[in-house]
């Protein structure tokens, strides 16, 4: 068995984290308007043409365009990033502990230092046999692991429609469990039909255990 698990909005309450991130900028004199104007105002793009967020790039722009003093802001952000564990969903660790490390692969989109820090400081790296942070759609990333095509127990736990669609179209052998948490930022967006849907990881765990029994 192999279980690929997405990070943002699946294991990690990104909405809550982002709210606190914006709060740090506001506290340091950046208005909400300017924060969102400069959010993606720098040329980091992935091969798919999607934008990636990087707070240090944003600060650079704020310095150049808006004359921002960045010393305290950087210090405050450092504090926020130091312990991202508090943004994990309450059921995340419990889920990870119930599977063996060799079966778990973390698969996250957006190769930036920011993404690495968020994951590393969340304290859950020890549960995974591999951590993949990549800029390709997840079908491309997962494909590399599917040497044994006969393995019927391959799951992806994902919330974002683009990746759900890519995997549904390109890798029909992977069972996609769409995670639709009430706190998820993309729970309302349409996607191709996933194999299963779960409101949280407890439900996802039940789905996985059930499918394994049926094999």
Question: Which of the ranges 15-23, 47-55, 75-83, 153-161 carries the binding residues for Mg ion, by CB under 5 A?
Answer: 153-161
Query: Of all residues in this chain, which one has the CB nearest to Mg ion in the complex?
Result: 8
- Binders of Mg ion among 1-30, rule CB under 5 A? 6, 8-9
Does the protein bind Mg ion through residue 160 (CB under 5 A)?
yes
From candidates 95, 119, 139, 159, binder to Mg ion by CB under 5 A: 159
CB of 166 to Mg ion, least distance (A): 13
Distances 190 to 112, 162, 180 between C-alpha atoms, Å:
27, 10, 11
Minimum CB separation from Mg ion for residue 110, in Å? Answer: 10
Question: Interacting stretch for Mg ion, rule CB under 5 A, among 44-52, 95-103, 154-162, 200-208?
Answer: 154-162
Q: Which CB, 55 or 110, lies closer to Mg ion? A: 110
Binding site for Mg ion (CB under 5 A): 6, 8-9, 159-160
């Amino acid at each position: 068995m192999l279980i690929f698990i997405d990070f943002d909005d699946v294991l990690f309450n990104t909405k809550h984290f982002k709210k606190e991130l914006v709060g740090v900028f506001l506290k340091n004199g950046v208005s909400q308007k300017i924060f969102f104007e400069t959010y993606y105002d720098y040329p980091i793009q992935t091969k798919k043409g999607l934008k990636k967020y990087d707070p240090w790039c944003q600060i650079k722009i704020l310095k150049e365009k808006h004359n921002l003093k960045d010393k305290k802001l950087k210090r405050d952000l450092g504090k926020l990033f130091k312990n991202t564990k508090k943004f994990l969903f309450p059921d995340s660790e419990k889920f990870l502990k119930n599977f063996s490390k060799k079966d778990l692969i973390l698969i996250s989109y957006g190769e930036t230092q920011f993404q690495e820090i968020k994951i590393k400081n969340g304290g859950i790296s020890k549960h995974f046999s591999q951590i993949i942070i990549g800029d390709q759609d997840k079908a491309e990333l997962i494909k590399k692991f599917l040497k044994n095509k006969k393995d019927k127990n391959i799951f992806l736990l994902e919330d974002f429609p683009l990746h759900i669609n890519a995997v549904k179209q390109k890798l029909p052998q992977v069972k996609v469990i769409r995670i639709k948490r009430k706190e998820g930022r993309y729970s309302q967006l349409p996607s191709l039909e996933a194999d299963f849907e779960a409101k949280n990881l407890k439900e996802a765990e039940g789905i996985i255990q059930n499918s394994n029994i049926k094999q």
